[in-house]
Amino acid sequence: MAHEDSFGGRAGDVVARAVSPAALVTGMVAGFSVAAVVWICFQAGIEHLAPGLTSIVIAGFIARAAVDRRDARWRGARGVPFADYAPVALQYLLLNVILLLPMLLVGWQPDLMRALISLHEESGPALTLLLFYVLVIFIAPPLLLIVAVSARETTQIISPSHWSRCFSNRGTDVFLIYVLYVGSLFAAVALCLPLLVLLATFTAKTLLFTLPLTVVFAAGAAVLLLGGLCGEYARGAVDAPVVERQAPSPVVVLPPLTSRKPPLLDAGKRVAETKHEIAALEALREEYAPNPAVLHALSFAYARDGRHDDAIAIAREGIPLAMRSGGVILAAEMFDRFRADADFGIQREQVVAFADALRNSKRLATSARLYVFAVESQPTDMRAAKGAIATAEEFVSTGDAKSALELYDFLLERCATSPLMEFVRERRADASRRV
């Protein structure tokens, strides 16, 4: 991955925006909103609800910054609709409530607090456990926000597979978030302090005017930094396929432990030598352990000769074998060829992963068909829509603007309410000038 396309390369843009005048505007709006909520709570005699309500407001601003950065490529000049960031804010709040639940229970049960104090007096490890819990509370917000902004459904925030997908092999990026977040805030404070000291030497009124502005700027920068960095990080988690992207070349497949047949180590070459003749492919299948490259070629050869039942039977065997062994392209092509004739039990997320792999290997026509298939089954699937948009852009870059227009028109018809559609209209207008 090129440096400018990596998380580290893009995170610099987040920091630059967070220390710009946008931070002052964000801080002012957020501060006014929090102050208004607190004032309303005290006026209504429900001041005990003020902490919870202000937490909701702050979570909304952070979630908005995260979604804005996550979808920056697709949104164009359009703002972030409330319907887009409200679910993320809710998910972020739910995760925080789960994390803080032990502390809330202790706060509501004084007897439990006294019991914990007594336990500490008798057992030293109790204090260690408490300190560890406090440390987790301090370092958890970025991690929880990443999980929330990466989730497509609320139930995913408690899914171990979703957490794994968010953080697997990305320890360096997580560490970079903390470094940039803490470092940038400390740098901002270090730059502002000399200025405040200098202003304080003039008049107290000057200091009273500039100090609130500095606090507001720091608050806005904190919101934009936390939301922006986590949203940028989530772009990789949201757009990444469910399965690892693989090269289109066939892979070596070891035979099952129960098989006495040898593996076909040079499957690509041997399949090419058969010139896709059925007899030769059947001989390879009979002589060697099951190989996805052989089954892929044999299923297409059967279909070519009108033996559709045999072709589907081979595809049923070949698709799961290819998926298990890393031959994603082979599985995707078999699924695309025979999906209209049989149900292979492939979930929509896996179909999108197939389409992603095909797009990355420049099989654009097949990729477009699978994105269309996924969008037709669920028009609100953002990942499928984004993949279709990326495929349309690839069509334009290869000179096939007509195919791009067809894909854009399909998206405009089926995903009319999606926030991506303004971007689609912009790209369609650009593609129409190239026809």
For residue 409, what pLDDT is reported?
A: 93
Count helices and strands in the chain by DSSP H and E runs = 20, 0
For residue 205, what pLDDT is reported?
A: 64
Mean pLDDT confidence for 8-21: 72
Does position 4 have pLDDT exceeding 80, yes or no? no
Does position 342 have pLDDT exceeding 50, yes or no? yes
Mean pLDDT confidence for 85-109: 83
* Domains in the chain: boundaries: 3-239, 250-338, 347-435
Mean pLDDT confidence for 414-432: 87
Structure tokens at 389: 């948009």
Among 65-74, 214-223, 317-326, the range scoring the smallest mean pLDDT is 65-74
Q: Does domain 347-435 have CATH number 1.25.40.10?
A: yes
For residue 180, what pLDDT is reported?
A: 82
pLDDT digits 0-9 by tens, 282-314: 999 999 989 999 999 999 999 999 999 999 999
What residue spans of 247-307 are helical by DSSP H?
267-273, 278-287, 292-304
Mean pLDDT confidence for 427-434: 88
pLDDT digits 0-9 by tens, 188-213: 666 666 666 666 666 666 656 667 77
What residue spans of 154-202 are helical by DSSP H?
160-167, 171-200
Cβ proximity of 354 and 328 under 8 Å: yes
Spacing of C-alpha 402 from chain mean position: 30
Q: What's the rounded Cα separation, in Å, for the pair 233 and 67? A: 11
For residue 2, what pLDDT is reported?
A: 40
pLDDT digits 0-9 by tens, 155-196: 888 888 888 888 887 888 888 888 887 877 676 666 666 666
pLDDT digits 0-9 by tens, 360-378: 999 999 999 999 999 999 9
For residue 241, what pLDDT is reported?
A: 42
Q: pLDDT averaged over the chain?
A: 81
For the segment(s) 250-338, the CATH number from 1.20.120, 1.10.10, 1.25.40, 3.30.70 is 1.25.40
For residue 239, what pLDDT is reported?
A: 46
Q: What's the rounded Cα separation, in Å, for the pair 163 and 237? A: 10
Q: Give the gyration radius of the chain's Cα atoms.
A: 28
For residue 155, what pLDDT is reported?
A: 87
pLDDT digits 0-9 by tens, 106-157: 655 555 555 555 655 555 566 677 778 888 888 999 999 999 988 878 888 8
Fold equal for 250-338 and 347-435:
yes
pLDDT digits 0-9 by tens, 226-268: 888 888 888 755 544 444 333 333 344 444 544 578 888 888 8
Contacts of 147 (CB under 8 A, 6+ apart): 91, 95, 157, 162, 163, 166
